[in-house]
Each structure stands twice: as C-alpha cells, then as structure tokens.
Chain A
Amino acid sequence: MVTTTKTIAELNSSPALLVILVIFTMDPLYLALSLFRRRRYDKCVEVCTGILDKQPLDQAAWCLKMRALTQKVYVDDLENEEVPELDFLDDNVLATAPRPGTSMKTAVVPPTGALSARPRTSTGRPMSGVARLGTHVRPESALDRARTARPLTGTASRTVRLGTAAMLAQKDGPFIQVSRLNLAKYADDPCLSKPLFEYLFFCDGDTRAAMELAVQATQRSRFDDWWWKVQLARCYSAMNLIREAEQQLRSAVKQHYNVETFVRLARVYSRVDQPLSAIDICKSGLEIFPKDVTIMTELGRLYEGLNDTNNSVKYHRNILIEDAINIEAVASLGMHHFYNNQPELALKYYRRALSIGAHSGELYNNLGLCCLFSQQFDFVLPYFQRALELATEASAKAEVWYNLSHVALAAGDVQLAVQCLNLCLSSDAAHAPAFNNLAVLYHKMGKSSLAKAYLNTAKSLEPELGEVQGNLEYLQKL
C-alpha cells in the first residue's frame, strides 16, 4: 500500500515539472494562442504585452492582444440592444398616425376585462414572461419620460460603460491610441481590420472610429464582404442612423444568409415602428433557417408586442421543441397559462424553469401564485417565503407582499391582507394597485372616506389604471 501511494505522488509531481520546463522553452506566441483558446484572456494579454515590449511591431501579438481584450468584455449585443427609439426628438418613425394593428403603439388592445386579457405592466405594455431591456418602456411614451433621470438622446450608454470598464483593466494607459491610428492603413489588411474593428467597437466603445474603419474596409473590399456591411449597420444603429443601417443589412442579406443579419434587420424595422415588416423579415429568415431559435424568439416577442397572444405562444412552443431549456420560452408559456386560467399547467412550466436553474425571487413568487390558484395550499407559503428571502430590490419585495395579500384574501383574512398591502407600500410607496386594493378592503370595512383617499392616491400614481377609475366612479354614485 505504501509503495503504491508513493508512486502516485511521484506521478503527480512529475508533470508539473514538465510544464515549467515547457514554459521556458515554448514560443511565447504559441503559449499566448493556447491561453487564448483556453479562454484565459488575462494571462494571454500579459504574455502578449511581454512579446510587444520586446518587439513593438509584432502584428500577430498585437492582433492576439486585441482579440483577447475584446473577448474579455464581449457581450451579445443582439440580446441586450439598448432601444433609444422612444424619444420624442426621434423622427425615424415612419408613420406618425399608423393604422391600428400596424404599429406597436396602436396595437389592437384586447378588451381589458378581468378575464380576457393578461394584465399590463405599469407602463401599459403587455406583460412578458421575462424582463428584457425595453419591456419596462411604454410604447407610447412621449414627454412622460422626460421626468425621469434617464438620458433622452439615444447615445449608446452601454458601450460607454464597457469602454470605461476596459480602461480600468489596463494599468498603463490605453492599449491603442485611437486618435493616432491610421485607419486607412489597417482597413487594407483583411486580417487585422476585423479584430481592430471589434476592439474599437466593444473594448474602446469608440463607435465613430469603428464606423470609419468599417466604411473604409467595405470600400476596399469592393462592397462584397457581407460581414462589414453587418458591422456597419451595427454602428449605424448604435448612432441612431436607422435608414442607413437598413440599407446595409438589406444588401448583406442579398449576399449571404445569416441568422444575425435577419434578426438585426427585424430590429431595425421594429425601431422604426414597422412590426409587420419585421415579422415578414423574420418569417423569410425562418424559411432559410427552419426552426432557428433566435429568429423564433424574435417572432415571439414581436407578436407579444402586437398583443397577438396565439401566435406568440405558438412560436414559444416551437422554441421549446428545439431548445427544451430556453428560459424565456418556458417563462412566457408559464405566464400565458397562468392568465389563461390554467394554473396547473403554469405550475408545470415554472417548475421546469426552476429545475433548469433559474433561481430568483420572481420565479418563486410565480410558483407560489400558481400553487395558490391550483389549490396546493401547503406549498404556497414556503414558496413565498423563499421569494421574500431572494427579493433584494424594493420593487420586487413589494410585488411579493402584494401577492401575499392575495393569499390572505383567499383565506378570507381581511386584516392580514391589509397588513400585507401596508408592507408592500412600505417597500414601494408608488404601488398603485396596492393602494387600490387597500381602498377596496377599507370600503368593505365601512371606512369609505379612507377608501376614497387611497383611491385618489392610486389615481395620481397611475392615471391609466382602469380599476381605480371604476372604483372611484362607484364610490361617487353611492
């Protein structure tokens, strides 16, 4: 026994020795490449810096360093594209008074009965299964948003943030001085131009320089490289030049079919508020890439924005057939079933989301609600307890307490419901539905004047809320 352990120890120690030996002998560029492939970008950058210190004009090392730096901060900008379209300064929108059903703003709103439709968010948008960028934005917001602290012009604030993040990572000044760069020289070199573009776009956040490079590179490639066209469109749409972006994407699609191009084109159309054209583009994309998840997700979202629940659900179902662990599809279907009076089915979907690994307060909250409405009372409170523990943001906590008030109502305990609603308001003092429900409860208790005060508060917080309006009218009539 003793001997065997010894041999194992020896065996273990020997490869480490070997590695050290290899490092001393291996070509540093090869090592850097290997590190890059193993996604150890920090190390890779270090090694490349070492090479560049010795040979400042080594293009391979320079290119690799750019790639490594880019990969470090790379984000899927298709998924979290910031949509600055809703500014009142924006004149890109084609039709100012579109026909109903042809625009997100005038999407045919189903009658907002308590049964027929899913509720809308506080901004008037139909609820989505998952929170995305833009799901909190009101479709018809014009001057309202001027009140908030958000920037009004559509500068790509995300890219600016990323740029600063990348700067912080570099100790001794920026890696590339963009202002001193001879862009025309690099545009000639097809091997260097593409990494340089990505570096400029993602790492440096310098959209303008990146665009200049892209413009020159397309000219050099005699307009037959679709990749450059897509990148150019990306720059254009980041700078809010929608029409130019559309042109580039259109000609890119003619040259080469790519999923990203189709989705970007659809995005461009939804930015000029032409959801029907966006849907057409996505559908033609689906003919070429049948059952592609990205395109189907885009379609599902577009139909959701148009209040076309049936089609949206259809695409989400198809996504699940292709990709059984797509959280967005699972959550959307769960929500659809919940508001369609099928809490048991919704419970199944949300449980699946939980087993996939989505572990959030919102999910536990939804599970609790599903259990409540499908009469699995023993699970209700544990789920809500989890939700409360996981909810860190005040608004999320407020929503959980709001839903807990419904649990109390289901048990017929009005006092507890009032307490829950008060806790909800202590987390989020601008929760209009909570004010409305408190008013109803106080009215039931016979405190009509208090109820009226609460209703007026709710109305001042959210004037669009139909229930508040109805309740106020009811109280007036009494």
Chain B
Amino acid sequence: MISNGHVISSKTDPKNIQKTSDEFSSLKKYNWLMHLQHVTGRLQDCKSLISSEIERSKGKNEFALYKQGEILREEGKFQESLESFQSCLRLHPGNAGYLKEIGKCLYDMQRFKLSMEAYLEAEKASPNPDWQNYFYLGQCLLKLGDVNKASEYAQKAVQAGKQEACYELLIKILIMQGDYKNAVTVSNSAIEFCPDSVGMLTESGLLFLKLGQSEHAFERLSSALALEPSSTKALLAIGCIMQQHEDYDVALSKYKTAIHYRPDSMALWNNIGVCFYAKRKYVAAISCLKRALWLEPLNWKVLFNLGLCHLATVQPASAFNYSCAAVNLRPDLADPFTVLGVALLELQDPENAVKAFRMALGISSEDVYLVVNMALCCSLIGLNEEAAGLMERYSRMLEHNVTITEELASLAEQLMNKLKRRTTQNVEEGSSAENYEPRENQTENAKIQEENIDKLTDDDEN
C-alpha cells in the first residue's frame, strides 16, 4: 500500500483492517485505493480489492462495481463488463454516466440498436449536452444505415464539444453523402481547433485534392508531413500531386520514403510503377506494377496499367492478357476496353478490336481519347464512314472545350487529313498506304493512355 512514497505493508493492509473493522465503516473507504491501483496498472491487487469490497458491501459499493466494469472492458470481456455496469445502474437509477458506459459496452459488442437506446436514455438523463452521447448516437445510426439522422447527431456532437473524433465522424458522413464542399469547410474549422493533428491535416488535404484545389491540398499535406515525416498517407497524396504536375523525380522520392514505412501498400507500388512508366523506364515500371498485383490480384487499375506497360514494350499478347483480366473484373468501365482494343489491334485482330472499342463507347461516349483511338482503328481496317463519323464527333467535342494533349491533337489532325484525302481520291487509291502507319500511331496511342493513368492514381489513395 502506498502512502506518501513509503510502502507500509503490515499495519494498513486492507485485509488486516477488515478483520477489525465493524460493519459501520464507510462503504467508500477504499475507493481512492482502487482508483490508484487501477491507474498505476496493479490490476491484480485492484481486482482482489474490488472483489473483497463488493463482498463486504454485499454488492452495494457502486464505485467498486464501476471500476470492475472498466477493468473488464479493458480486458475485452464486454458481456461481464456490461453486467457490472448494469448493477451500478440498479443501485443508482437514471445516472447518465452509467448509461453511457452501458451504451459503450453494447457498441463494442456491435449491438448497435441497444447501444443507441442506451445513449438516448443517457441523453435524456444528462443535464447538459454531452458530445460523447451525440458522437456515439451518430456512430450507431451510421452503422444502422440512417445517414441523415447520423449527420444531425454528428453536427450536434461537433457543437457540444470541439473534439477531433466528432469532426472526423461528420466529415465521413458528409463524404458519404457526397457533399465535399461542406466536408471541406468542416475540415477547415476542425484544423482551427486542432492544428497539430496529422490525421485531420491529411484528411483535409485529400478533400482539397478531391475538389481539384491542389495548391490548398499541397499546403495541408506539407504541414502534415512537417509534423510527422513518416505519414505514408500524406506522402502518397503529395507524391500524387507531384506526379500530376509531371515532376516525376520528386514524386518518386516521396514514394520511396513512404514505401520504406509501408512496403505492402498496393497504391504506392502502383504509383511508383506509373512514375517509372512516365519516365520511360518500362522494365522497372513492370516490376513495380507486378509487385502491386502480387499484393492485390483483384485490382483492375494495376491490371490496366500493366496492360499499358506491355503495350509500350511491344508485348501485345501480355497486354491482352492483363487488359482482359481488367475487363473481366470491371466490365462496367470504358478504359480497360480501350486498352483491350488497342492490344487486339496490335495482335492483328482488328475486327475484335472494333468490337472492344464499341463496348467502350457504349459505356462512356464522352471520352475523347477513346473516340480518336476508335477512329484510327476503323480507318485502318477500312471502315471509313464510321471513322469519319467518329472524327466528326471528336470535332464536336472540341467545341465543348475538352482539354486534350498535343499528341492527341496531332494524331487527330493526321487522321482527319488522311480521311479527307481518301474521300477525294476514293477511286484511284486502294488500301496500300496505310500498312506502314500503324506502328507509329500505336506508340502515340500509348502516350495518350498515359494521361488516363494519372487520373486513375488519384482514386488510389482512398
């Protein structure tokens, strides 16, 4: 037993006292000792003291029961902990604190409905608004699937107490609702209250990135990194911004530090692979992407990128395999179909290539790259009318201010000229001139697809 730094063992040992003590002694006599033992981590002593106290008081010592519940919950025995809090509540009906503890136990046991009821009662019982009540109510409602009500409670929780967890919950709900604008404003106010929270800074940076405001995002992420240089999430996001600005060396250095801390992150390996691809180091790119694939064999983005790399290294059969797998995994996306089409074209199977392009076009008709690639394919196998139609569609898209790269523009121009030539000299010229063209054009295709990858990597960090 501790008293002022000295250990006095014999005299004040609770067991000895118990023998001499009469039944009129105070129930709360050893509450301070229980607490002290609990917070100093002497759980064994604390448990034996609690059980002797409960026995002495014939189960009437509230504090002992409360402490027992807390210890049991720390040990992960939720059911027993719940029982002991319930007996607390029986001794002191309507106590908000005990109701909260019961709710927490039920929440840990994943009985969200019961937990919500307990917190609702706690809310009624508590004299002033308590952020914990609102926070857990929000969490329970979220788990039960009622997002709108959950957001109400999350807002209440934020108002009641400016806690990081509450802000996080609110942001999560807003993102679920797709309301990024509000999520950003919430995260801004959250950062005002906790400016040194790495998680919050990163979260807000990612939100800015979602909205496309990369300067703000960069600012937030750099301050997160300044606080914790090993934060992989922030490193990945900042690398991604760098990659978008085509500053591949800086991006790679960021990824390298991140991969040191988290060597088993699929997104990191994928983005490193894409960086190498952009730097035209295809072997390195393929090996990095393969690592990513080893980590997550079911990720279509990695498969898609591998398909592109193999197209760039003139291995269309492998490209076909990877893009085929990507298509199998996500038949609802246009990009894998486009790569599949290009791979089939390289494999000298233009009919199926056109089929793949048509599938892609059926999914998303507004993709400039897809339209131009398909037009090229059509013109190569002699479907000139369809090619011309596609080029018309392309020029219509250009009127709507679609941003395109120079390569695409020059390719489209070449194609237009060729089609025009064909319509004028339709009769005299057969299909002789086009045979040497495909290879050159294909390399340009690969370059065009590169843009797609960057777009895709943005999604990876989520």
* A interface, CB within 8 angstroms of B: 113-116, 341, 373, 375, 377, 406, 409-414, 440, 444, 476
Q: A121 to B178, alpha carbons, bound, how many Å?
A: 45
| Chain B residues in the interface with A (C-beta under 8 A) | 110, 263-264, 287, 290-291, 294-295, 297-298, 300, 303, 318, 321, 324-329
Q: B329 and A113: CB pair below 8 A?
A: no
Most B C-beta atoms less than 10 A away, residue of A113, A115, A341, A412:
A412
| Given contact pairs A114-B294, A412-B298, a sample of 6 additional A-B residue pairs in the complex whose CB atoms are under 8 Å apart | A115-B295, A375-B318, A411-B324, A412-B300, A412-B325, A414-B329
The complex places the Cα of A119 from the Cα of B321 at a distance, in Å, of 27
19 contacts between A and B (CB under 8 A): A114-B295, A115-B264, A115-B294, A115-B295, A341-B290, A341-B294, A375-B318, A377-B321, A406-B297, A409-B298, A411-B324, A412-B298, A412-B300, A412-B303, A412-B325, A412-B326, A412-B328, A412-B329, A440-B298
- Complex alpha-carbon distance, A406 and B264, angstroms: 19
In the complex where A375-B318, A377-B321, A406-B297 touch, is A114 in contact with B264 (Cβ < 8 A)?
yes
The answer to whether B325 touches A411, judged by C-beta atoms less than 8 angstroms apart, is: yes
User: Chain B contacts of A413 at CB under 8 A?
Assistant: 328
Q: Is the CB of B295 within 8 A of A412?
A: no
Contacts of A414 in B (CB 8 A): 298, 328-329
A115-B263 in contact (CB<8A): yes
Quote the shortest CB–CB distance from A428 to chain B (angstroms).
22
Q: How far is the CB of B140 from chain A (nearest CB, A)?
A: 15
Closest 10 CB pairs of A and B: A412-B328, A412-B325, A412-B329, A113-B264, A409-B297, A114-B264, A375-B318, A114-B295, A411-B325, A113-B263
A474 → chain B, closest Cβ, in Å? 13
Residues of B within 8 A of A410 (CB): 297, 321, 325
Contacts of B264 in A (CB 8 A): 113-115
- Which partner residue on chain B sits nearest A343 by CB separation? B290
B287 nearest CB neighbor, chain A only: A341
Distance between Cα atoms of A269 and B324 in the complex (Å):
55
User: In the bound complex, what is the Cα–Cα distance between A115 and B328 (angstroms)?
Assistant: 26
For A406, the chain B residues whose CB sits under 8 A away are: 297
CA distance A414 to B330 in the complex (A): 11
Chain B residues with CB below 8 A from A444, complex form = 298
The residues of B that contact A375 with a CB separation of less than 8 Å are 318, 321
Q: Nearest CB to that of A342 among chain B residues?
A: B287
Least distance between B336 CB and chain A CB atoms (Å): 9
A108 to chain B, nearest CB (A): 18
List the A residue with the shortest CB-CB distance to B323.
Answer: A412
Q: List chain A residues, Cβ under 8 A from B110.
A: 476
| Chain A proximity of B102: nearest CB distance (Å) | 21
User: In the docked arrangement, what's the CA distance between A115 and B293, Å?
Assistant: 11
Q: Smallest distance from the beta carbon of B166 to chain A beta carbons, Å?
A: 18
Given contacts A114-B264, A406-B297, contact A412 B327 (CB under 8 A): yes
Q: In the complex, A444 Cα to B299 Cα: how many Å? A: 11
A376–chain B nearest beta-carbon distance, Å: 10
Q: A375 to B290, alpha carbons, bound, how many Å?
A: 11
**Bound complex: CA A116 to CA B291 (Å):** 11
Report A-chain residues with C-beta under 8 Å of the C-beta of B290. Answer: 341, 373
Which residue of chain A has its CB nearest to the CB of B325? A412
Nearest CB on A from B64, distance (A): 31
- Smallest Cβ-Cβ distance to B331: which chain A residue: A412
Residues of the B chain whose Cβ atoms lie less than 8 Å from the Cβ of A412: 298, 300, 303, 324-329
Nearest residue, chain B, Cβ from A444: B298
Contacts of A116 in B (CB 8 A): 263
A7 to B287, CA, bound (A): 71
